[in-house]
Amino acid sequence: MNMIDETIRKKITLIWDNYIISNKVVQDTKGNAINNIDDARIIAIVEIKSIVASFLSSTINVYEFKTSLDSYNKRNNLWGFTATKGQMFFNQLVKSNEQDIDKLTSILKATITEPVDLSDALSKIEVLEKFANISFSKAKDKRKAPNPGSTGYFLSYFWQIHNHNKWPIIYTSLTKSFKELGIWIEHPTQREDYRFFYDLYEEIKLILKDHAKKEISNWDAEHSFWNYTGNPNTAAPKNLPEVITTNVIETSEEVKLNANFEIGDYLIPKVANLVRLGTETNKSASAKGSEFEKLVAEIFRQLDFDVEFHGQGSGREPDAIIKFREENTAFIVDAKAYSNGYTLGTDDRAIKEYVNHHIPKLQKEGYKKIGFIIVSNSFKSNFDGFINDITWNTDIKRFILLTSEALLFLLAYKTKDKLNLSSIIDSLVKFGNVVTAQNVIEEFDDV
């Protein structure tokens, strides 16, 4: 039975055509180009299969399995597994079932193995979904419990590791795209969602096969939707390749996690008011901006960066240059004290001036990895096109949009857990944009 009418078929083929002519550049979580993500995935599959096999054979237990998988995917995040529906779901599954760890181990071994067919796959989803729901329904704080809504992504990830030609992963980004096209229907269970997704995905591959006159793999179809924003008639860029970071493939809004401590216990009063300052309306823009810039610079100093502060009154300059000589890493920093969220506006010219002026200086000083950070309470506009332009046409390795709250949480974790600056920078550059407090909590908290 056809699930897609002729009008939508034409839109899907146009999405494919735009994908083909856009000549995308794919980046890993640290901003390094991956020339062929499919080749990288094939290599990674060998390693991940080995980790899975060690768990299935009981060579390692579920705790070691969780840790090994987390460690590998943080270094090779090619499927988005480090996000909420992947590693966080796994962490919460284990933590919520430590009193019944043998049962969890048995269920995982039964469900992460490759299904015999679609019917078997749906049965596996049902088993894990029901098990997760027991912990979720009993939890007083749902944010710390394994959300059953993550089951489909979690299991289909493992099935694709076993057989990437057979099993598509039910990414949130894909279902959102399908919803924008008007072909996605939400279902009450993950079992039903995956059945619908699987059939829909197979039909999309057939449409693309007929259009492209070649076989279309799961990965071909997945990649073609990476740059889809709800308007398939938008022409793809002809001169500027689209930069996609693989750590934002999978996203989810279902679970929000709070830190397991009071942030105020680990911040000095001088900087703790950063977020509040950003929302103030009873100060002049100049006074508010000046104070905000100084606090941002001070926080980076407390994170152990060597801070060169400029701020207001220093002409066409960024607010600060922060450096980490040990790794020859530097960031140009701009702080924006906007009450209603920062939008790019006319600042794009100033930012380009900062980049063009300071990169040669920093390179002359021996800094090899240079990034740009904008700090604001929130961000209103879509910066993707501008960020792609900067990272493609300059030596800026990573452009980061960092919320004020996220910056404070970085400092709190640094103080609480004695984090070194190297690990903080590694995390900053691997996050997607916008970097929020939630991202920092998920990265550093014991979930």
**pLDDT (tens digit per residue) in 193-245:** 999 999 999 999 999 999 999 999 999 999 998 767 555 443 433 333 333 33
Cβ-proximal residues to 154 (8 Å cutoff; 6+ apart), any chain:
85, 86, 89, 90, 128
List the structure tokens of 18.
């735009």
Can you list the positions of beta strands (E) in 24-83?
25-27, 33-34
Q: Report, as an integer, the average pLDDT of 344-373.
A: 90
Indicate the pLDDT class of residue 113, thresholds 50, 70 and 90.
Answer: very high
- Please state, in angstroms and rounded to a whole number, the distance separating the CA atoms of residues 132 and 123: 14
pLDDT at position 418, please?
A: 85
Looking only at the bridges linking them, the beta strands covering 320-324 and 329-336 are antiparallel
- Output the CATH code of domain 263-444: 3.40.91.30
Specify the amino acid at residue 305: F
- Please state, in angstroms and rounded to a whole number, the distance separating the CA atoms of residues 245 and 249: 8
Q: Output Rg (C-alpha) for the chain, integer angstroms.
A: 23
pLDDT at position 242, please?
A: 36
List the structure tokens of 373.
């950070």
Cβ-proximal residues to 291 (8 Å cutoff; 6+ apart), any chain:
277, 283, 337
* Residue 332, number of CB atoms within 10 A of its CB: 25
**pLDDT (tens digit per residue) in 275-303:** 888 888 777 778 888 899 999 999 999 99
pLDDT at position 346, please?
A: 60
pLDDT at position 315, please?
A: 58
Specify the amino acid at residue 24: K
**Given a cut of 80, is residue 107 above it in pLDDT?**
yes
Q: Where in the chain is the domain with CATH 3.40.91.30?
A: 263-444
For residue 104, which of 50, 158, 63 has the smallest C-alpha distance?
63
Q: Model pTM greater than 0.75? A: no
Specify the amino acid at residue 31: G
pLDDT at position 227, please?
A: 66
pLDDT at position 313, please?
A: 56
Q: Report, as an integer, the average pLDDT of 237-255.
A: 36
pLDDT at position 24, please?
A: 61
State how far the alpha carbon of 334 is from the alpha carbons of 292, 312, 338, 425, in Å.
Answer: 10, 11, 12, 17
**Given a cut of 60, is residue 247 above it in pLDDT?**
no
pLDDT at position 229, please?
A: 55
On the question of a cis peptide bond just before residue 434, with omega within 30 degrees of 0, the verdict is: yes
**Given a cut of 90, is residue 416 above it in pLDDT?**
no
**Given a cut of 80, is residue 35 above it in pLDDT?**
no
Instruction: Quote helix, strand, coil % in the chain, to nearest 5.
Output: 55, 10, 35
- Comparing 73-87, 166-180, 297-311, 323-337, the range with the smallest average pLDDT is 73-87
**Given a cut of 50, is residue 129 above it in pLDDT?**
yes
